[in-house]
Chain A
Amino acid sequence: MKRNTFYLLAGIVALAEVGIFWLSVELERPILIQVAFVLGVLLIYLARRRVEERIEDERTAMITQKAALRTLEVFWVVFFGVSLGSAVVAFSRPLGLRPPHPGPPNMAPVDVLELPFVGGFALFQMALLCLMIFLYVGFRMYYARKYGEWDRDEEQD
């Protein structure tokens, strides 16, 4: 498989994932997009192994490693900070760890995890994952530039 064919396939898979996500929302079936996403990633990994032109070697592996490490270093701080905030919110509510605030005598117990709250949290998680992707792309571009990914010389001119 040519490198451009691979990129084309990756684009088609990404578009299909968007379509399946929409379908999943319409049908209210979360499992659809969950399975489709995992299958899509598997398909892209398999296709990448069939690319004839060499696109990876020790230098690109090092760029990937460095970018991934830096992303993790930054991301865990952000994620832990946000999670600490969430923990404070969670522990401020009755979770069984401490007695709930006394309410009116005949009041029903409040659900701890209401569905809109879970949905909001999922969106927030996705936003954090997007941040992680942006961080990774940024670091990758930095290291790719540092290690001569886009350098040109007389052979190309």
Chain B
Amino acid sequence: MENGIEMKNRIKVYRAMHDLTQEGLANELGVTRQTILAIEKGKYDPSLDLAFKIARFFGVAIEEIFLYGDTAERK
């Protein structure tokens, strides 16, 4: 949340749907487990590259996983 607008995400939900641990997802994406945890907790906003990787891994559009600002409130 660098610019004050909160970005929410549903990685935890998708992880549960795919029965994946943070470690498992991290290994699949080539990042550390702490990075997955930080993204889930909203402490770190991933790069566009990593965001697309996450969306493609779960086979959904990026907007399904990452909800930006007011979009997050409407959903």
**Which A residues form the contact surface with B (CB < 8 A)?**
54-60, 146-149, 151, 153, 155
Contact = CB atoms under 8 A, between A and B. Distances in A.
B43 interface: yes
B71 interface: no
Interface of B: 21-23, 26, 30-32, 34-35, 37-38, 40-41, 43-44, 46-47, 49-50
A153 B37 contact: yes
Contacts of B43: 146-148, 151
A57 B47 CA distance: 11
A94 B21 CA distance: 70
Contacts of A60: 32, 35
A148 B22 contact: no
Given A148-B37, A148-B38, A153-B37, A55 B44 contact: no
A57 B37 contact: no
A-side interface mostly: loop
11 contacts: A54-B31, A57-B30, A57-B35, A58-B35, A58-B46, A60-B32, A146-B43, A148-B43, A151-B43, A153-B40, A155-B23
Contacts of B22: 153, 155
A148 B30 contact: no
A147 B32 contact: no
Closest 7 CB pairs of A and B: A148-B38, A148-B43, A57-B31, A59-B35, A147-B44, A57-B32, A59-B44
Nearest to A56: B32
